[in-house]
Amino acid sequence: MPTQKGFMQIIFILGIIIVSVGIIGGSFYIKNNLSKVNNINNVQLTPSPSPYGSQEPSLAPSPTSLNTSRGGNCTDDSQCTSGYKCQVLEGEGTVCPEGTNKVSTGTFTLPEASCQPTTKIIKGQCKLTEGGSCQTDNDCYSGLVCHRNICTNPISKVSCSEPSDNSCPDGYKCVQACGPPVAREGDKPPGYFCEVEELANKPRNCPICLASNTQIATPTGDVNVKDLKVGMKVYSVNEQGKKIVVDIIKVSSTQAPASHRVVHLTLSDGRELWVSPNHPTIDGLEAGQLQVGQNYDGSIILSSELIPYWDNKTYDLLPNSETGFYFANSILMGSTLKQ
């Protein structure tokens, strides 16, 4: 039987063991919880939606599916946040044979058919839509300007009749359009429109005709625009989009200032044209408003670059057709001589 002294020794040893186990367990607990704290500190705090518009921290990774900054990369409008739109920088698509796709031009519609052109954005940037807060024109979607730090349509829907007309909205001026390249007896004077003041204060970019290297399609082959004469036969299209042969009823040329610039337009099927920025297209726009990635005349615009003009005259013609359209370097264009 153990003595009283032996019992005391046993109790003392057990006490030491219990204290040691407690110290080791406490150290492990503290270390484990410190690790959890460190993991929490490493989590990225991102805003979570609040019905009151506050920004509450949330222990979740920040979303990366939306491009919230100006100029964020995109391939679709859905990848841009509200108030932004994906502007095409590089695109691709399918091109239909001439006359097979249905395209509303504002003047005529090509026949309905199974072939429909498509466009896919390969590379784009999120740009501010109309009404967005901006610093420069480059912040805004194509066709808009940064007017008083707001992305704005440069042409107002309000009409005006003369430079002194005060009917234009605040920040706009009443300016006169370029009109035909050569004035003739009986021609109506060019109309007026309300343009944002930053552009209205700049010199008008006239003339609005074709470059001197343009080839016009005729039944006997392409002819340089400088060599065309009234009465010659050229290809045009009627209001149903059918290709027809008609006479030329007007030709013109006009002096181009040394500062004149032209748009170098390149399509995905290899066609290209040099034309004044204000020259009319078949869809109611001007050549300078055509943008990369858009469909035009059954193809996709690969580039649209404003470059210095190399000659001292520009040229135009008017076919005797309902539309006044003609094929310039095989690209269907409108005429400045069409009233």
pLDDT digits (tens, 9 = 90+) for 310-333: 998 999 999 999 999 999 999 999
Residues 6+ apart with CB under 8 A from 242: 99
* H or E stretch at 197: helix 197-200
Q: Tokens in use for 42?
A: 């490493």
**Are 181 and 252 contacting, i.e. CB atoms less than 8 angstroms apart?**
yes
Calculate ∠ Cα 101-103-105, nearest 5°: 150
- pLDDT (0 to 100) of residue 123: 82
CA distances from 333 to 113, 216, 236, 249, 337 (A): 22, 10, 10, 16, 12
Q: Tokens in use for 39?
A: 């993991």
Closest CA to 213 of 225, 222, 221: 225
Specify the higher pLDDT residue, 26 or 45: 26
> Burial level of 314, CB count in 10 A (0-12/13-18/19+)?
buried
Q: Tokens in use for 255?
A: 């002096």
Most confident of 3-12, 101-110, 142-151: 142-151
- Residue 97 half-sphere exposure, CB side, CA atoms within 13 Å? 3
Model-level pTM?
Answer: 0.49
**Are 176 and 223 contacting, i.e. CB atoms less than 8 angstroms apart?**
no
**Are 137 and 123 contacting, i.e. CB atoms less than 8 angstroms apart?**
no
Give percent above pLDDT 90 in the chain: 39
Is pLDDT of 217 > 90?
yes
Is pLDDT of 219 > 90?
yes
- b/e per residue, 231-253, with b = 16+ CB within 10 A? ebebbbbeeebeeeebebebbbb
Q: Tokens in use for 242?
A: 């059918």
pLDDT digits (tens, 9 = 90+) for 82-135: 999 988 777 665 545 444 444 444 444 444 445 565 667 788 889 999 999 999
* SS3 call for 205: coil
- pLDDT (0 to 100) of residue 51: 33
**Are 143 and 155 contacting, i.e. CB atoms less than 8 angstroms apart?**
no
**Mean pLDDT for the stretch of residues 237-264:** 89
Cβ atoms within 10 Å of 145's Cβ, excluding its own: 17
CA quadruple 246, 318, 312, 296: dihedral positive or negative?
A: negative
**Mean pLDDT for the stretch of residues 234-262:** 89
Cβ atoms within 10 Å of 140's Cβ, excluding its own: 25
Q: Where are the beta strands (DSSP E) in 15-153?
A: 45-48, 56-59, 73-74, 84-94, 118-128, 145-147, 150-152
Most confident of 72-76, 133-137, 288-292: 133-137
pLDDT digits (tens, 9 = 90+) for 205-214: 667 799 999 9
What is the chain's alpha carbon radius of gyration, rounded to the nearest angstrom? Answer: 35
Closest CA to 210 of 331, 107, 322: 331
How many whole angstroms separate alpha carbon 201 and alpha carbon 136? Answer: 18
